[in-house]
Chains A and B, each alone.
Chain A
Amino acid sequence: MAEVLVLVEHVDGAVKKVTYELLTLARRIGEPAAVLVGAGADAAIGGLAEYGAATVYVADAAELSAHPVAPKAEVLAKLVAEKAPAAVLVASTAEGKEVAARLAVRSGSGVITDAVDVSADATATQSIFGGATVVKSKVTTGTPIITVRTNSVAPEAAAGAGARVDVSVELSAAARSATIVDRVVQAKGGRPDLAEAAIVVSGGRGVGGAEGFGVIEALADSLGAAVGASRAATDAGWYPHQFQVGQTGKTVAPQLYVANGISGAIQHRAGMQTSKTVVVVNKDPEAPIFELADFGVVGDLFQVVPQLTEEITKRKG
Chain B
Amino acid sequence: MREVDSETMKIVVCVKQVPDSWAEKTLGADNTLDRGSVDAVMNELDEYAVEEALRLQEAHGGEVIVLSMGPSQTTDTIRKALSMGADSGVHVIDDGLHGSDAVATSLALAKAIEGRGADLVIFGSESTDARMSVVPAMVAERLGLPQLTFSSSVSVEGSTVRTNRVTEYGYDVVEASLPALVSVVEKINEPRYPSFKGIMAAKKKKVETVDLAGLGVSADQVGLAGSWSAVEEAAARPPKAKGTIVTDDGAGGTAIADFLSAQKFI
A interface residue numbers (CB < 8 A to B): 68-70, 73, 93-95, 97-102, 104-106, 108-114, 123, 127-129, 131-142, 172-174, 177-186, 188, 195, 199, 223, 241-242, 247-248, 255-256, 266-267, 270, 277-279, 281, 285, 290, 292-300, 303-312, 315-316
Contact = CB atoms under 8 A, between A and B. Distances in A.
Nearest to A283: B248
Nearest to A247: B128
Interface stretch (B63-71, B89-97, B172-180): B172-180
B230 A138 contact: yes
A19 to B, nearest CB: 14
Contact of A93 (B26, B168, B230): B168
A306 B248 CA distance: 13
B106 to A, nearest CB: 7
> Is chain B's interface secondary structure helix, strand, loop, or mixed overall?
mixed
B235 interface: yes
Nearest to B229: A110
Contacts of A315: 257, 261, 266
B243 interface: yes
Nearest to A73: B141
Interface stretch (B10-18, B75-83, B145-153, B195-203): B145-153
B117 interface: no
Nearest to B263: A277
Given A140-B230, A179-B174, A294-B244, A308 B253 contact: yes
A73 B137 CA distance: 11
B20 to A, nearest CB: 10
Nearest to A93: B168
Contacts of B171: 184, 186
Nearest to A294: B243
A172 B261 CA distance: 55
A128 B166 CA distance: 25
7 contacts: A112-B229, A136-B234, A138-B230, A178-B147, A281-B252, A309-B253, A312-B257
Given A68-B174, A101-B132, 18 more contacts: A69-B149, A97-B134, A98-B133, A101-B102, A102-B137, A108-B228, A110-B229, A114-B131, A127-B237, A129-B25, A134-B234, A185-B169, A242-B166, A248-B187, A307-B254, A308-B253, A315-B257, A316-B266
- Chain A at the B interface: mostly helix, strand, loop or mixed? mixed
Contacts of B136: 98
Interface string B121-133: 0000110100111
Contacts of A266: 21-22
Nearest to A131: B237
B170 A186 contact: yes
A142 B230 CA distance: 13
Contacts of A182: 172-173
Nearest to B143: A174
B213 interface: no
A99 B174 CA distance: 17
Contact of A113 (B21, B134, B172, B248): B134
A298 B248 contact: yes
Interface in B150-206: 150, 162, 164-177, 180, 185-187
B43 to A, nearest CB: 11
